[in-house]
């Protein structure tokens, strides 16, 4: 669901790209949004810091730093974020989109892709692009074409029963009630919730809740909140249990994530 933005941003291009492959990075203040728009080229969105959200029709994609979102040409979408973020876009002319998914999808970002994106953020290609800049952008495109496709990192549901439970947890991610307890709160059964989680989310309820907590933790880490406080606020009995979960989902510890986010700011 689209949130009401305090900062309305302008899409950088409306009719034509400045090059067949074009890289751009930008800072987004908290509570910012790009309006509904579409374009005749594809776009790969990656967040260096913070979590960017992309809405496409009835699908809601989140872009934590270990994933990026691919948007094929002519797909109407909205980009927004609740907390300050630094994101980038690789714009791809339609003729070069053949190796990428035909529909919107989250793509896993490998260490090599992340390193290339970070290099491009620090040394953006000029216009006209030099030969070595064009080669790097084409290598990046090749890597994205072979990236693992993971759907939506934190999918939503239009089901009135399941969405009620998901909204409860989004508002209070530290809620530690069990699935049976949440089912009773939603006036349904545990079995019904389990079936609808698999049908609408493509994962178990426990996995979705852990992903939600990881996403919430990212914003808290960037605000300088201690790991111990975050673990407690998110319903973990110990810091070690939270650190284990965060590392499993993101591939880095909370302190490593905080350090990398700080480096992006500098």
Domain boundaries, the chain: 7-151, 160-265
Count CA within 13 A, CB hemisphere, residue 170.
Answer: 12
**142-146-148 Cα angle (round to 5):** 140
Q: What is the DSSP letter of 45?
A: E
Supply the pLDDT for residue 159: 93
CATH number of 160-265: 1.10.10.60
β-bridge partners, 78: 55
* Mean pLDDT by groups of 10 residues along the chain of 266 residues: 66 88 92 89 92 79 84 92 88 97 92 96 94 97 94 83 94 94 94 94 92 90 93 95 92 88 66
pTM of the predicted model as reported, rounded to 2 decimal places: 0.76
Residue 75 sits at φ, ψ, to 5 deg, of -110, 115
Q: What per-residue confidence (pLDDT) applies to 62? A: 77
Q: What is the 3-state secondary structure (H, E, C) of 164-194?
A: HHHHHHHHCCCCCCCHHHHHHHCCCCHHHHH
DSSP states of 117-183: HHHHHHS---SSPPHHHHHHHHHHHHHHHTSPEEE-SS-----HHHHHHHHHHHH-TT----HHHHH
Residue 3: the pLDDT is 52
7-151 in CATH: which number?
A: 2.60.120.280
Give the pLDDT score at 205: 95
Encoded tokens for 40:
């005749």
Q: In Å, what is the CA distance from 61 to each residue of 153, 183, 196?
A: 6, 25, 19
pLDDT value for 68: 93
Cα pseudo-dihedral 265, 127, 132, 146, rounded to 10: 70
Q: What is the pLDDT of residue 5?
A: 64
Distance CA 40, CA 76 (A): 10
Identify which of 100, 114, 102, 115 has the alpha carbon closest to the alpha carbon of residue 147. 100
The predicted structure's pLDDT at residue 2: 47
Give the three-state DSSP class for 77: strand
């Amino acid at each position: 669901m689209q949130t009401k933005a305090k900062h309305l941003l302008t899409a950088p291009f409306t009719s034509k790209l400045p090059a067949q492959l074009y890289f751009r990075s930008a800072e987004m203040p908290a509570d910012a949004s790009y309006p509904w728009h579409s374009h005749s080229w594809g776009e790969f969105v990656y967040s260096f810091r913070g979590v960017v959200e992309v809405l496409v029709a009835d699908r809601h994609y989140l872009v934590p730093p270990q994933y990026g979102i691919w948007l094929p040409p002519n797909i109407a979408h909205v980009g927004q974020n609740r907390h300050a973020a630094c994101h980038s876009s690789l714009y791809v002319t339609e003729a070069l989109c053949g190796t990428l998914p035909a529909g919107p999808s989250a793509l896993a970002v490998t260490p090599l892709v992340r390193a290339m994106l970070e290099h491009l953020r620090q040394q953006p290609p000029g216009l006209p692009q030099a030969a070595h800049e064009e080669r790097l952008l084409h290598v990046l495109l090749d890597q994205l074409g072979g990236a693992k496709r993971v759907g939506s990192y934190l999918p939503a549901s239009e089901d009135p029963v399941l969405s009620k439970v998901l909204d409860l947890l989004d508002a209070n991610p530290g809620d530690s009630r069990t699935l049976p307890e949440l089912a009773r709160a939603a006036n349904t059964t545990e079995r019904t919730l389990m079936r609808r989680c698999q049908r609408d989310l493509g994962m178990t309820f426990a996995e979705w809740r852990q992903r939600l907590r990881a996403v919430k933790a990212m914003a808290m880490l960037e605000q300088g909140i201690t790991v111990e406080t975050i673990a407690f606020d998110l319903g973990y009995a110990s810091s070690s249990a939270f650190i284990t979960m965060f590392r499993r989902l993101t591939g880095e510890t909370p302190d490593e994530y905080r350090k990398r986010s700080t480096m992006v700011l500098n």
